[in-house]
Structure 1
Amino acid sequence: MNTPIPPTGETGLQRRLGVSDAVVIGLGAMIGAGIFAALAPAAAAGGSGLLLGLALAALVAYCNATSSARLAARYPRSGGTYVYGRERLGDFWGYLAGWGFVVGKSASCAAMALTVGSYVWPGQEHAMAVAAVVALTAVNYAGVQKSAWLTRGIVAGVLAVLAAVVTACLTGGSSEAARLDIGTDATIGGVFQAAGLLFFAFAGYARIATLGEEVRDPVRTIPRSIRIALGITLVVYGAVAVTVLSVLGPDRLADATAPLADAVRAAGVPGLVPVVQVGAAIAALGSLLALILGVSRTTLAMARDGHFPRSLAAVHPRFRVPHRAELAVGAVVVVLAATMDVRGAIGFSSFGVLAYYAVAHAAAFTLTPDEGRAPRAVPVLGLIGCVALAFALPWTSAVSGAAVLVLGAALYGVRRAIGGT
């Protein structure tokens, strides 16, 4: 028996998004600042094994997307893995997934906002980051369809910039780095750490699942949108990584502060550098917009169940969005953006999101064939991959991420002990 799809009356959200809108929101979250920023630290970790790390991250992302799509079709409600974990594994596991997502993605929001600031106004990154968060929170407050329209323009611009980078690297003057041997210095640990860092750039398809109450025909739309968005992202990331690595080589890429800008400069097209810088800022804005959207919807779902203050579950009577949750998330991200460091936020965010997907795979494993279960190997491989990548991250990210999960579990225990619901 299928779980009924929630109504969209006075107290519900409105189903306004079609397949193309959902795909664009997923692309806006994935094809963002991650590809502009994550290649250098990944190359530093994986060396010439960078492409192997990208392939490993893509494999884990595919498993995550498959499990998420099957679960989202079964439970088309706001909240993503928070809902799936609660329904399939029990209240605690759903809560832990939601906690990991909200905390990890809030840090990711701060990282994206700081990336905007570093490109728009170097030296005033924190001030610009706060301004970006305030502006995009206002856009999300005005309605999810307006967010989809804005994201569509952002995605088109970023794809155009990335296409220009690939073209410049393939047709520009050859460099010494292009003749380097790029297959001899990789280690297993380095490849896994590179994959964990690159995973940061792949995690946006969850945004589609968290919008389960705002897409039309969610049983068909959500799985289809996730597959399309992930497929496009894999092609784009693969093309960019191969061309940038071929121009700079692993050592120069590892030392680059702006890898794509350095690549077009090395390819003999310095005039394209300002375009790449603008593209990076636009990409970060797109990611930030989609991230705030997704975190607020998970906050809404958890508030409905009493894990967060129930007042955060309110839906605006005109705009049909969880306006209090969006304002609360925006306020938290403003504080983080004013105080956090970008590189630390990437690793911390990756750990939280990998924990989130580990719960999704455990939930997907419990689906029956009648419920649209994927082959059992998919959730098993995905779960193993998530755990392996999480603990292959830099130790500071792994320790801080694990500590935050423990804190979340402790808060859950306290709430239960004092009789919370």
Structure 2
Amino acid sequence: MGPRRPAVPRSESMGTGAAAGELKRHLGVFDAVVIGLGAMIGAGIFAALGPAAAAAGSGLLPGLALAAVVAYCNATSSARLAARYPQSGGTYVYGRERLGKFWGYLAGWGFVVGKTASCAAMALTVGSYVWPGQAHAVAVAAVVALTAVNYAGVKKAAWLTRLIVALVLAVLAAVVIACLTGGTARAARLGLGADATLGGTLQAAGLLFFAFAGYARIATLGEEVRDPERTIPRAIPLALGITLVTYAAVALAVLAVLGPDRLAHATAPLAEAVRAAGAPGLAPVVRTGAAVAALGSLLALILGVSRTTLAMARDRHLPPALAAVHPRFHVPHRAELAVGAVVAVLAATTDVRGAIGFSSFGVLIYYAVANASAWTLTPAEGRPARAVPIVGLLGCAALACALPLTSVAAGAAVIAAGAAAYGARRVVES
């Protein structure tokens, strides 16, 4: 186990000012929950249900439940660690402090590459809903616009995310009501059939995990949260709980109307569900909601990736120039611009479905390190129940291995390349 640095003192963690090179603490519980919701209640629920149904068939709902269990364990471990280490970087910091520098680096690398792919997927989702014929151009424009919003300060980003979350929740509520009151919903479509297999359910859980992973955004903003020792452990389970209830309601309603086979082949499952339920006029509203939801996810994703980039740059695992903090806006402006540039290139050249699987693999590696780190906490440090990090770690490993083979191969190759780069750097330094 590597050396442990002391946690940030409570007096410092409660301050709202910002010293040179530090980020300013703007966010309370409500804004932290909203940022987590903006990352989770996004394009995942609009886009991931179809691929998950294709993988699991009638095992979709058990897959959603399994993803939720793993997400809960990850969230609990992350919350306890974030309260102990309220700094930008999330599991990059936790792994470094609890397990050693290499494991922190590996977590940070998995997060940056995985969530950069997520950013591209969200940007492309915006493009496909707003202007399908020019999806890549719209995606790039969305990345540029939201990078500019984040550059102006996290408080402004939190206000925009609040508006987006309110709109998306209203749209999802309308979908659930339309599906359950339209007369076409059938409870028989919710049962398990012969097509439900363990492998398919695990793969569906891995794909659906993509939509749950946004609570990490709260932890990676630890340096910008007021009173993080209390705020973060409250905000993470609140955001996850609201998301789980929302996703369960939407999945049940859509599955009851379309059934697993029709859902598996739907390119826009929520829009198709409201049409099948006898409310075709609601379909354009759902399309608009999907685009807005993807914008909300993209906003929060850029925010989180840039903070982990900042933390890794401070430790010279990435170019030190990326550790600069803007003297006026108190944001890691160079990291945000660099992340925005990379995502814009990916949005112009990649496709959305491949990005989702690749992202899930990288983020599951990140949370595996978080759970291993939480295992090392003592009772005095707020250690969770022993079963939580164990289930979380094993769940992350199982879901990562169950993803589509191309995603596993690509993800493993990129993680291995990052590990090799770390080793080469250590050799050069020695």
Structure 2: tracts of 5 or more residues without a match: 1-5
Aligned with 1:132 (options 110, 130, 142): 142
Question: What is the percentage of aligned positions where both structures have the same residue?
Answer: 79
- 1:178–1:248 CA contact under 8 A, matched in 2: no
Q: Secondary structure at the match of 2:211?
A: coil
- 2:190–2:255 CA contact under 8 A, matched in 1: no
- 1:348–1:401 CA contact under 8 A, matched in 2: yes
Query: Is the counterpart of residue 378 in structure 1 residue 388 in structure 2?
Result: yes
Match of 2:122 in 1: 112
- 2:73–2:388 CA contact under 8 A, matched in 1: yes
Q: Give the whole-Å Cα distance in 2 for the aligned partners of 1:347 and 1:377.
A: 27
Kindly report the root-mean-square deviation, in angstroms, between the aligned alpha carbons of the 2 structures.
1.1
Letter of the aligned partner of 2:191 in structure 1? I
Post-superposition CA distance 1:369-394 (Å, at most 9, x none)? 01000011100010000000000000
Aligned CA distance change for structure 1 residues 401 and 172 (closer, same or farther; 3 Å): same
Post-superposition CA distance 1:19-42 (Å, at most 9, x none)? 000000000000000000000000
Q: Secondary structure at the match of 1:123?
A: helix
Aligned CA distance change for structure 1 residues 3 and 256 (closer, same or farther; 3 Å): same
Match of 2:333 in 1: 323
Q: Give the whole-Å Cα distance in 1 for the aligned partners of 2:188 and 2:36.
A: 36
Letter of the aligned partner of 2:210 in structure 1? F
Q: Give the whole-Å Cα distance in 2 for the aligned partners of 1:158 and 1:166.
A: 12
- 2:205–2:399 CA contact under 8 A, matched in 1: yes
Residue 12 of structure 1 and its aligned partner are, at CA, apart by: 1.1
Match of 1:194 in 2: 204
Q: Give the whole-Å Cα distance in 2 for the aligned partners of 1:157 and 1:62.
A: 25
Residue 173 of structure 1 and its aligned partner are, at CA, apart by: 2.7
Match of 2:358 in 1: 348
Aligned with 1:250 (options 254, 260, 277): 260
- 1:182–1:250 CA contact under 8 A, matched in 2: no
Aligned with 1:99 (options 104, 109, 121): 109
Q: Secondary structure at the match of 2:226?
A: coil
Structure 1: tracts of 5 or more residues without a match: none
Match of 1:68 in 2: 78
Q: Give the whole-Å Cα distance in 1 for the aligned partners of 2:51 and 2:369.
A: 27
- 1:312–1:325 CA contact under 8 A, matched in 2: yes
- 2:7–2:86 CA contact under 8 A, matched in 1: no
Aligned with 1:22 (options 32, 38, 44): 32
Residue 3 of structure 1 and its aligned partner are, at CA, apart by: 4.0
Give matches, 1:154-173, under 5 Å: 154-173=164-183
Q: Give the whole-Å Cα distance in 2 for the aligned partners of 1:301 and 1:11.
A: 12
Match of 1:366 in 2: 376
Match of 1:269 in 2: 279
Q: Give the whole-Å Cα distance in 1 for the aligned partners of 2:212 and 2:250.
A: 14
Q: Give the whole-Å Cα distance in 2 for the aligned partners of 1:316 and 1:11.
A: 8
Q: Give the whole-Å Cα distance in 2 for the aligned partners of 1:51 and 1:358.
A: 24
Aligned length: 419
Residue 2 of structure 1 and its aligned partner are, at CA, apart by: 4.7
Residue 178 of structure 1 and its aligned partner are, at CA, apart by: 5.9
Query: Is the counterpart of residue 79 in structure 1 residue 89 in structure 2?
Result: yes
Match of 1:298 in 2: 308
Match of 2:65 in 1: 55
Letter of the aligned partner of 1:402 in structure 2? A
Match of 1:182 in 2: 191
Q: Secondary structure at the match of 2:224?
A: coil
Query: Is the counterpart of residue 309 in structure 1 residue 290 in structure 2?
Result: no
Residue 11 of structure 1 and its aligned partner are, at CA, apart by: 2.1
Match of 2:3 in 1: none
Q: Secondary structure at the match of 2:223?
A: coil
Letter of the aligned partner of 1:408 in structure 2? G
Q: Give the whole-Å Cα distance in 1 for the aligned partners of 2:112 and 2:145.
A: 20
Q: Give the whole-Å Cα distance in 1 for the aligned partners of 2:347 and 2:190.
A: 40
- 1:108–1:346 CA contact under 8 A, matched in 2: yes
Post-superposition CA distance 1:251-270 (Å, at most 9, x none)? 00000000000100000000
